[in-house]
Amino acid sequence: MGISKAEQIILKGISGSPGICIGKAYIVDREGVNITKRYPVSDALVPNEIDRFKQAVLKAKNDHAKVIDSLDKDLGENLNILETHMVLFKDKMLYGKTIETISKDKINAEWALRKVSRKVKIMFQKIDDVYLQARVNDIVQVSDKIMSYLVGAQDIKISDINKRVIIVAHDLSPADASQIQLERVKGFVTDRGGKDSHTSIIAKALRIPSVLGLGIATINIKSDDFLIVDGSSGTLIINPDEDTLFKYEERMVKFEEYRAGLERDSHLPAVTKDGISLNLMANIELVEEVVAAKDYGAIGIGLFRTEFLYLDLKRFPTEDELLCKYKELVEFMSPQSVTIRTLDINGDKVNPYLTSIEEANPSLGLRAVRFCLENEDIFITQLKAIFRAAAFGNIKLLIPMISCVEEIIQVKQVMNKAILELEYEDKIFNKDIPLGVMIEVPSAVMIAENLAEHVDFFSIGTNDLIQYSMAIDRSNRMVAHLYQALNPAVLKMIKMTYDAAEKKCIDLVMCGEMAGDPMNIPVLVGLGLTNFSMNSASVPIVKRLIRNLDTKKAKNNVEKIMKLNCVQEIFDFILEEYKDILPFGEVDE
């Protein structure tokens, strides 16, 4: 396999899907959708311009439908992603507002679509939720598809690729990614995108290495350049030298052996070398994800994020609609438990169907439990659906972003109202379900013992806990390097929460992203934690590490770790102490 003599270039991006692939670049140009200019449209021609836009939407939608029809129905969750894009073609924010803009501003359809899509993009980017910020890509991709028909741009034909290559693109939509033929495409890299994007989700389902968010990949790469894609570390190497190539060829073989071993062992229990059983559960956003959770060996759902149904519907769902989804989930998982987190949303996130006051800092505003207590009717509807679903399976109720005892007392009062309504309506339900609160703000850590007197369990949400305690905006690249789970302050807050739960004899679960990173597991086990919930794909990796972990050693090491002063010291200590059991590809070499 020949290698270009060009100078080696290394780019760092975001891991879209783990694994390593080596091969030649195949450039896919998605930047061909250019808007030449804005021009006025006379009153008489406005209907024609609106019709031109509608025809472009229809063609784009029909094209998208053909892609869906051509795909293997076993894609499951990924077909749901494509169906979400199908809905966006006629979404009120995009479709309705573009028509309204053409009529009101009397401008060409291309400029109206560009104006509306940018406005929607800015709105989503202001939302303090990584998953929802990633939905910006969905809006952009659907808008680009419509735009390509408006301007007559040539569309990508991923399915036409007839050689073994690595795709290089400014962006790939989920529809593009779904057309990838595994026997032809080794992996892909993009300028746009992130780890929570739908394109990343499909890449993981296809199990091909990908690196996203590179920014300048398409500028630096030419067709047939030789590439190494390390999806595990988010690294792209352009025209590698001989030594680098040899190193990565060895790593690629080892990674495939490692992944095959994980699949063989995924059914084995999470029991340490000294016989301590740990519980590994899955975090999910969609009911359809439960199949993957079971396949990966999760023993329950430790966090079901309920807000995505609200956002997909673009309206508040009814009690029966919620019941249908929750019932399906708990029946499938029965007798294993499902922890349902109540709505973690704010006015900005439901902007299309809720009039709200603009907040300068939504992450510190009316969100999560604050939003629910302010909008009691919405909260009661969800609680009633949860109590009704609890008659069909093992449900735990989790309240997000509790910051004071007063809030949990108010929540219990609203729960009692929901129960009274169900009794009056003579509906079948189960009110005797465990109640928990998320520990994700520093004040909750400080009063954990007081909170424990009112609930049955704690769930530590490290994503927000790190953000709030370190005063870091996770989406701000300027300070992202400070967002460290192994920061001594974060570890001390986890220990304080654990000690409070132990003292008050209530259960403790960790459901933040910290729980799914193998580097953190020896520390968390050493601190005493035994219940974890994580991304489904992380379960087999963490299980394998646990089976090689000695809890006595972990506890002794934690005493030393808690005396260290900075993240790098802690990281280096873990790397040295557990180098023989840390999983391949999870730690940058």
Who contacts 79 (Cβ-Cβ below 8 Å, separation ≥6)?
Answer: 68, 71, 73
Reduced to 3 states, what is the DSSP secondary structure of residue 323? helix
Closest CA to 374 of 387, 392, 359: 359
Contact 539, 280 (CB under 8 A): yes
Catalytic residue among 21, 170, 372, 511: 511
Helix axis angle, 46-70 to 109-125, nearest 10°: 60
Tokens 């992450």 belong to: 363
Catalytic residue among 21, 85, 198, 372: 198
Helix (H), strand (E) at residue 90:
none
Rounded CA-CA distance 161/158 in Å is 6
Strands 210-212 and 14-17: antiparallel
How far is CA 512 from each of CA 361, 384, 462, 466, 535, rounded to the nearest angstrom? 22, 27, 5, 10, 9
Rounded CA-CA distance 516/532 in Å is 8
Numbers of helices and strands, H then E, in the chain:
24, 16
Active site residue 198: yes
Active site residue 64: no
Helix axis angle, 198-206 to 136-151, nearest 10°: 100
Which tokens sit at 378? 């919405």
Which tokens sit at 182? 């595994």
Rounded CA-CA distance 65/79 in Å is 11
Contact 223, 236 (CB under 8 A): no
Closest CA to 142 of 49, 216, 67, 48: 67
Strands 235-238 and 226-230: antiparallel
Reduced to 3 states, what is the DSSP secondary structure of residue 39? coil
Report which DSSP code applies to 7: P
Residues tagged active-site: 198, 511
